[in-house]
Every structure is written in structure tokens, then in C-alpha cells.
Amino acid sequence: MIRVRFAPSPTGYLHIGAARSALFNWLFARKMGGKFLLRIEDTDLQRSTEESTRSIIEGLRWLGLDYDEEIVFQSANAEQHRAAANKLVAEGKAYRDFTPKEDRDDAGIKQGIADRARVQSTEGTDHRSNSYRDLASEESDRRAASGEPFAVRLKVPREGKTTFSDIVYGLQERNYSEIEDLVLLRSDGHPLYNLSVVIDDIDMCITHVIRGQDHITNTHKQILLYEALGQPVPQFAHLPLILAPNKGKLSKRKHGEVVSLTTYRDRGFVPAAFRNFLALLGWSASDTKEIFGLEELTKEFSLEGIGRANAIFNFQENDPRHWTDDKALWMNAEYIRTMPLEELLPMVKAELRANKLWREEYEDDDRNWLERTIDLIRQRFHTLKDFSLQGRAYFSDDFDFDDAAVNKNLKTEPRLRELLPALADRLEALDPFSHETAEAALRQFAEEQGVKTGLLINGSRTMLTGQAVGPSMFEIFDILGKDRSVTRLRSGVPWFDMMNVLVDV
């Protein structure tokens, strides 16, 4: 039975890279009929927050990635991790290091690594040599018993190498000489990442570890631990990373909200669309298909289809039109206009409700009208937000007029101020009032007045919706109905707004 896990550390929002890891794990589990488990790696108690845990769970739910079994909180297993480390000490596979802990701040660490490496290469000192490694166990026990603080380090063999075959990257080798005796337990007894991961993965019977490529060097250390513990080593599949447009790391500090999954929910993405986009970052089916529903995705997915090169998440920070990857935006629009209406409806409902545009009649009496309207306006929308923003005039009489639209479609022809109310009179007299009759009436009226139909059409569009763009005008008349159409054509609001503008100037 295949068992995989998604193991985020709850130190912030759910990063889209992590979300993709979760997706790939989930897809693999579902495809293989295995289990997808969730483990919260909250061993860093200072940085872990409950809020972050909540947002991770919410994010997974939003993407439709349900997990099996209970969530495992890594911090709850600390005792077990310690016991494993102590067992390794007792067996002589790990040792106590009584070297006093160095105090280093986060910023100094990267520099410290480089400095130490330089010293090592120029002076030939081996930072890996540790005098406590071969301390007699009696002596070690005595000092520990006397209360002297110590860290526990794994005894990495002097000679040899670790080897594993990564499902994505192929054969990986690393000489033991390049691996430091890693710390398992801090001097305050706190278990460290590599230990905890291995113990928990063993405990959860994980068969395949699918995670970011940044863990590839950790994998060698972890294999050493599996071996020391006498446990079978799982399969590994490392994923290429998702990078920023400058090919740098994608981080919240530098790039802000584009990297947070919740942003996509809040800005009106359809989960299926974003999930589809995410799946295509670093993975592809061999054919040219790109639009995948969940079932298709599950069916087509395979670890072999994952590429090795890091992918760039292409967005332009200071351009609202390209605030995130163009393809993601396109994908979302594609889903909005083509997905089954009954799947879209609940999302639109939530959006309208959040903006106080929802009416209960939409559930029953006006259900049909709602469906027709949504189906009509969704053709041009890019996000769910558009239903309450650009689409506002369809659901409320209280909507704004776009300045550019007023300028272009109304202001340029002052005669419209009389023509449109006159058109309203014609429309009011219609019976029945429909797409066809409205069109015929408008065209005839235009001819009588000696004006272009386009003038009346575009003017009407702006009067009725506040916008310069939108569906075919006669569809709008039909959807809005006679009363609202007529009222809005007679309304002086946009003209009034314009006068205000003029007065202000």
C-alpha cells in the first residue's frame, strides 16, 4: 500500500510551491489507490503558529485535496524522537557532543558557512573532526550524568557513500566525507528536523517521499538515519523548484502575496483552475493536453512526467494586469467560461453574498434568470470578483459608472441626453419585450433619428451597466427586462456625475 505525506511547517501562509508539493503527493496517492497523509512539522515552536496550521488546512481544502487519517503534529512525537536518538547513542551509532553551543543569529549563519569553508580550505582544518566522537562511553555517560549539557550527533561513517535512486533526478550519490556528523538532539534536548522527519516517516509507514528539490542533500543524511535505525528506506521523488521571475527564490518577504495560496482564493480564482495551473508547473502529460479536471489529472498523473528544471513563476510586481502568471489568469478565465454552470453557481453565490448582492429569490423564483445572467456575463470574466465588480449592474441598481465609458459612449454625443430617454419611451411601449423586439425598435428608432445604431447601442450599454464593454446589448435588454432598462435609460445619473466632474474641474 502506497502512503505519502505532505509535511509543511506552519510558519506562515501556504506557499504555492508547497501547495504544488501537496498536489503532486495527493495525485500520486489517488492514482495509486494509496493514502495521502498530512503532518504538521511544528517542532520549531518559536515560529510555528496555530493560525498558520489553520491556513494550511484551509488551503488544502480549497484545492480539493482531502487527506486520509488524522493529522499528525510532529511536536507531539518529540519524546519518541528523543528516545530514538538515545537508543542510537546506546548502540554506539550516535554520540554526545559536549562542545558548548555557539550562539549565532540567523543572519550570521550563511556568512558563517562560507567563512568556515574558506578557513577549512586554506588551513586544511577539518570541521568534521570532533574529539567527542570517540569518547569512551563510560566517560560520556559520567559527564552526562553530572549534568553537563551535550548535543547528540549521528556517527557518519568515515568511508563510503550513500546512494539512492531518485524517481525524478535519477541516481544520486554522496560521499560520507561530505556529510557532517549531523546533530540529532540539541543540547536542550530538542529533536532536530532530519531526525524527526525520519522517525515520523517510519512511524507513518511512508513509502514515497515527494518533496522539493531543496531537500535532496538532506535525503542523504536521512538515509543514513534509516540505516542506523535498521529501517527500510522509502522511495524519493524530488520536485523542481518554483522560482521568481529573476530566477531567485520565491518568498513572501520579497514577493508579497503572489506566493500565498490564499491570495488566489481571495482574488477570485476557481480552485480547479489554479490547481490545473499548478499541476502544469513542472509536470506535463506527454501529449498536448493542458486543461485537466481532477479526475483526468489523477488518471494522467505520473511521477515520471515531472521535469528536472526549476520553473519560473512569471508575474510582474508593479503591473496590476499581470499581478500573477498570465497563464494562471488565462486558465481561470477559461474555467469560468467553460465549466459546468452548476459548479460555478455556488462560487458566484458566495461572491455576490459577500458583497450584499445576493437575493434569496435567486434560489427559487429567479433561479432561471440567475442562470441565464451568469451564463451570459461569465463569457468575458477573468475572476470570480468580476461578478460583483464589472457585473454589479446586473444584480443591483446601485452601481458605478466607469469614467472612460461615460466619456467615450455618452459625453461625445450630447444629443444622447435626449435620444436615450426617447428610446426608453419606444422600449416601454413594446409588448412583448424581448431580445428581438428591442433590437427592432432600437434600429428603427436610430433610422428615424438619422443616427448610427452603434451610437444608441453603446450609449445604452453604458447607461444600463455603467461600462463600455460587455455582452451584446440586446441580450442585456432582455436580461435586465423592460422596467430596469427603461428606468436606467431615463436616469440622469451618469450625466449628473459628469457635471460634478466638470464643476470640480
Give residues 474-493 in contact with RNA (rule: CB under 7 A).
474-475
Per-residue binder mask for RNA (CB under 7 A), 239-278, x = binder: -xx-x-x-xxx-----------------------------
DSSP string, 265-294: HHTT--HHHHHHHHHTSSB--SSS-----H
Query: Grid coordinates standing for 71?
Result: 493529522
For 358-472, where are the alpha helices, taking DSSP H only?
A: 367-377, 392-395, 403-406, 416-428, 435-449, 453-465
Using the contact rule CB under 7 A, the part of the chain among 57-65, 212-220, 228-236, 426-434 near RNA is 212-220
Taking the C-alpha atoms of residue 495 and residue 488, their distance in angstroms, rounded to an integer, is 12
Q: Which is nearer to RNA, 296 or 361 (CB)?
A: 296
Minimum distance of RNA from residue 151's CB (angstroms): 4
Sequence-distant (≥ 6) Cβ neighbours of residue 123 within 8 angstroms: none
Sequence-distant (≥ 6) Cβ neighbours of residue 379 within 8 angstroms: 337, 471
111 binds RNA (CB under 7 A): no
Minimum distance of RNA from residue 240's CB (angstroms): 7
203 binds RNA (CB under 7 A): no
Taking the C-alpha atoms of residue 371 and residue 363, their distance in angstroms, rounded to an integer, is 10
Q: Which is nearer to RNA, 391 or 471 (CB)?
A: 471
Give residues 8-27 in contact with RNA (rule: CB under 7 A).
9, 11
437 binds RNA (CB under 7 A): no
Q: Which is nearer to RNA, 113 or 429 (CB)?
A: 113
Report CA Rg, the chain: 32
Taking the C-alpha atoms of residue 18 and residue 12, their distance in angstroms, rounded to an integer, is 11
92 binds RNA (CB under 7 A): no
Count of residues touching RNA (by CB under 7 A): 88
Q: Exactly one of 70, 102, 134, 398 binds RNA (CB under 7 A); which one?
A: 102
Question: Which burial class, exposed, middle or buried, applies to 245 when counting CB atoms under 10 A from its CB (0-12, 13-18, 19+)?
Answer: middle
DSSP string, 326-346: HHHHHHHHHHHHHS-HHHHHH
Minimum distance of RNA from residue 308's CB (angstroms): 4
Using the contact rule CB under 7 A, the part of the chain among 176-184, 224-232, 255-263, 363-371 near RNA is 176-184
Q: Exactly one of 433, 471, 494, 498 binds RNA (CB under 7 A); which one?
A: 471
Using the contact rule CB under 7 A, the part of the chain among 99-107, 253-261, 362-370, 417-425 near RNA is 99-107
Q: Which is nearer to RNA, 62 or 474 (CB)?
A: 474
Sequence-distant (≥ 6) Cβ neighbours of residue 99 within 8 angstroms: 130, 132, 151
Q: Exactly one of 71, 76, 350, 469 binds RNA (CB under 7 A); which one?
A: 469
Using the contact rule CB under 7 A, the part of the chain among 52-60, 385-393, 396-404, 473-481 near RNA is 473-481
327 binds RNA (CB under 7 A): yes
290 binds RNA (CB under 7 A): yes
216 binds RNA (CB under 7 A): yes
Minimum distance of RNA from residue 347's CB (angstroms): 19
Q: Which is nearer to RNA, 39 or 358 (CB)?
A: 39
Give residues 304-323 in contact with RNA (rule: CB under 7 A).
305, 307-312, 314
47 binds RNA (CB under 7 A): yes
Taking the C-alpha atoms of residue 144 and residue 159, their distance in angstroms, rounded to an integer, is 29
Query: Grid coordinates standing for 74?
Result: 510532529
Query: Grid coordinates standing for 146?
Result: 553530572
413 binds RNA (CB under 7 A): no
Name the residues annotated as catalytic.
Answer: 252
Sequence-distant (≥ 6) Cβ neighbours of residue 62 within 8 angstroms: 261, 262, 265, 271
Q: What is the widest separation between alpha-carbon atoms in the chain?
A: 109
Give residues 335-364 in contact with RNA (rule: CB under 7 A).
337
Minimum distance of RNA from residue 461's CB (angstroms): 6
Minimum distance of RNA from residue 69's CB (angstroms): 20
Q: Which is nearer to RNA, 110 or 253 (CB)?
A: 110
Sequence-distant (≥ 6) Cβ neighbours of residue 429 within 8 angstroms: none
- Kind of pairing between the strands at 35-40 and 72-73: parallel
For 175-251, where are the alpha helices, taking DSSP H only?
A: 193-203, 216-228
Using the contact rule CB under 7 A, the part of the chain among 42-50, 65-73, 344-352, 415-423 near RNA is 42-50
